[in-house]
Structure 1
Amino acid sequence: MSCSYALSITRRVAFFPAVFQLLLSSYSEAETVTLRGRTIDLTGFPNATNTGVPPGMTLKESGGFVINSSGAVVEGLDIRGGVVIDASNVTLRNCRITYDGVYVVLIKGGIRGTVIQNCEIDNLGSGGQCIAGQGSFLRNNIRNCADGIAVGGNDTVIEGNYIHDMRGTAASHFDGIQADGNFSHLTIRHNTIINENIQTSAIMVDNYAGPIDNVLIENNLLIGGGYTVYINEVAKGQLVGGPVTNVTFINNQLVGWHWGGLDLRTELGNMPVISGNINKATGAAIPPGKKPTSKPTR
């Protein structure tokens, strides 16, 4: 765990007319965040105290590198540079990866079996993506990026992560998790995702790059953004488009949005299963929101 998270700290995001302050206060058992004047308790969800590199680990300094050996296990490194995974069944765990490029960790297309676990991944506010690709992403502390995780292929599990401090350039579109289509079998379970900006989302699921099938989004704490969650099946105007089928969005807690909790579009007629989602501040059910004035562009 980064030592900076042992103290209460204040960060300011200033890329938009409205400037929002995020106050993080870390304790041994809980953490709270204050966003847009509301204090939000993260107890029971991933936070700085239970994600990232386990306390007490000594990390060895390293530059960036490409992993091209199938079955490789890489652990215990303080990596200053990007990591590219170009072999199957690679495990990257208990590492700190810091890089100001487009991708902090890139999993090449078609690579299977990647596991990224208990890592701290930092894009230094450069407007890139902390993880791009497909695999199992577990209990990572992900920060200072425009996209925390950009889903790039089939069979992806995102569980137990803390995604926060979304920062980039004035041109950035901020998504905690971005899933822009052309994949199947995605699970997003029990993560804390905080988008401090008034655009775009904590989770974006849309068919811009192709069809989507079999998505489960459950038991997450989702905070901020324009709409906190987008589930968009758009009929016209996408790069590729296609149906968005078998999506389940259940038992999530949402709070801190600018426009609304959920932007739902089912223009090809495929309705997700939506149940048990609540406004964390009030306990009220989250209904699908109205379309924003201008549709997010990718």
Structure 2
Amino acid sequence: MKKRLAVLLSGGAVVLAACSPGHGARPSLVAGDSGAPSTSTSTSASSSGSEPGPSSAAPPTTPQPTSLVKPPAVQPPPATGTPAPAGTPGWLLTAGNTGLAAHGLSCDSLPLYKGGDAPPAGAVISGVRIETSLTLFAGDITIEKSCVRPNQLNEGSHIVTTNGPCEDSCQVTGSPVTIRDSEIDGSKLSATTIAKSCAFLGVATLQRNYVHGMGSGICFFNTGKTLDAVAEGNYVTKLRAGGDSHNDGATVRDFPTGSNPERRLVFRNNRIDCSTGNDTGAMFIQTYGGDIDNVTLEGNLLEGGGYNLGLEAGFGNKYGRNMRAVDNRFNSTGWGASYVTDKGLGYKWAEWRDNFANNPGVAENEGQAVSP
């Protein structure tokens, strides 16, 4: 069996290391692989009785939606320098109508942030350029119209996290964190440094941000038991691979709802592109860190290599019966649009509706219908 990558704990920090599938220290993020995933007999890909792991087998032969050469868009995106209106779907987002550029700002135009890398509870950080990584474990923190662009980072560390001190596992923030109208930029760091890192890791509300230059983008992992997680109106792109990295545009690795059945995890109206050459895919949902439920994906454009959307049970955990994917668009340059590995659960998505290959030449970009 080939090895997979996991985020393990070393000296109190979250780092990436190679490991065989199985339970390691918590949190331990098994990254997606660059081979086609093995799936159960109830899915569109081949069956495997082992825990998810890299495969040298060819991708499934089930026909998948393909990218087409498209005529000009019927519905043009909002102009550069103008924020995308509320409710704009992911397929109309650009680097010019998200993040700082939507407000006529840039990283270089902002004054340097002079605060610490672990802001206190109640902090509101606005309109600054932050050249360090950030630990937002204190909670009750807002970052807005700012640029987070570190000049230095330990290899495998994350640019922004809500994790607290780590021993056998990492502590979870107890209060909400919000990052909005900002830019998270890994371009000042080498690909080797950031290939196995996330732009954001933890639990928070992320709105209208431009995320680029990283190994992976939005990582909802070590999410705790109570807080909601929301990603809305973000554009994730220009991710970078290095060595044996396995890159995700966005990923969910745990979201248990037993203690708070009302909590929700939502990806709405995002554009997420994972095109590194070492791609797991744009959206990878895997129960490595714990059970996952109450997840809604709506209005997103998922692009790039690997599979655009993967849903996997395993590692002694399961996804629940309230997993929903509605009105998303897919632009696969890899193995296909979507797959499910149910590990014998006998069910897939609770709701799968109005999901299409992305075709800008028709109304609402509704190309060929996509199956789960």
Query: Residue 44 of structure 1: CA displacement?
Result: 5.6
Question: Does the aligned pair in 2 maintain the 1:233–1:243 contact within 8 Å?
Answer: yes
Tell me which residue corresponds to 2:321.
Answer: 245
Q: After the TM superposition, which residues 241-280 of structure 1 pair with which residues of structure 2 at under 5 Å, given as runs?
A: 241-267=317-343, 268-272=345-349, 273-280=351-358
For the pair 1:133 / 2:133, whether they are aligned, the reply is no
Q: Which has the larger radius of gyration?
A: 2
Judged with a 3 Å threshold, the aligned counterparts in structure 2 of structure 1 residues 218 and 87 are, in CA distance, closer, same or farther, namely: same
Tell me which residue corresponds to 1:21.
Answer: none
Aligned counterparts of 2:90 and 2:199: Cα–Cα separation in 1:
25
Between Structure 1 and Structure 2, which shows a larger proportion of strand residues? 1
Q: After the TM superposition, which residues 180-199 of structure 1 pair with which residues of structure 2 at under 5 Å, given as runs?
A: 180-184=253-257, 185-198=264-277, 199=279
Name segments (4+ residues, structure 1) moved above 6 Å: none
**Counterpart pick for 2:97 among 45, 50, 53:** 50
The one-letter amino acid paired with 2:158 is Y
Q: After the TM superposition, which residues 69-108 of structure 1 pair with which residues of structure 2 at under 5 Å, given as runs?
A: 69-99=120-150, 100-101=152-153, 102-108=157-163
Aligned length: 250
Question: Does the aligned pair in 2 maintain the 1:29–1:43 contact within 8 Å?
Answer: no
**Counterpart pick for 1:166 among 239, 255, 266:** 239
Query: Residue 255 of structure 1: CA displacement?
Result: 0.8
Question: Does the aligned pair in 1 maintain the 2:294–2:323 contact within 8 Å?
Answer: yes
Aligned alpha-carbon RMSD (Å)? 2.5
Q: Which piece of structure 1 moves more, 104-113 or 224-233?
A: 104-113
Tell me which residue corresponds to 1:111.
Answer: 174
Judged with a 3 Å threshold, the aligned counterparts in structure 2 of structure 1 residues 285 and 28 are, in CA distance, closer, same or farther, namely: closer
Instruction: Provide TM-score, normalisation by structure 2.
Output: 0.62
* CA deviation string 1:147-169 (max 9, x = no partner): 10110214100000000001031
Unaligned 5+ segments in structure 2 are: 1-33, 36-76, 81-88, 164-171, 258-263, 360-365
Unaligned 5+ segments in structure 1 are: 1-14, 17-26, 31-41, 289-298
Instruction: Provide TM-score, normalisation by structure 1.
Output: 0.77
Question: Does the aligned pair in 1 maintain the 2:249–2:274 contact within 8 Å?
Answer: yes
Query: Residue 223 of structure 1: CA displacement?
Result: 0.6
Judged with a 3 Å threshold, the aligned counterparts in structure 2 of structure 1 residues 47 and 269 are, in CA distance, closer, same or farther, namely: same
Query: Residue 218 of structure 1: CA displacement?
Result: 0.5
Query: Residue 89 of structure 1: CA displacement?
Result: 1.4
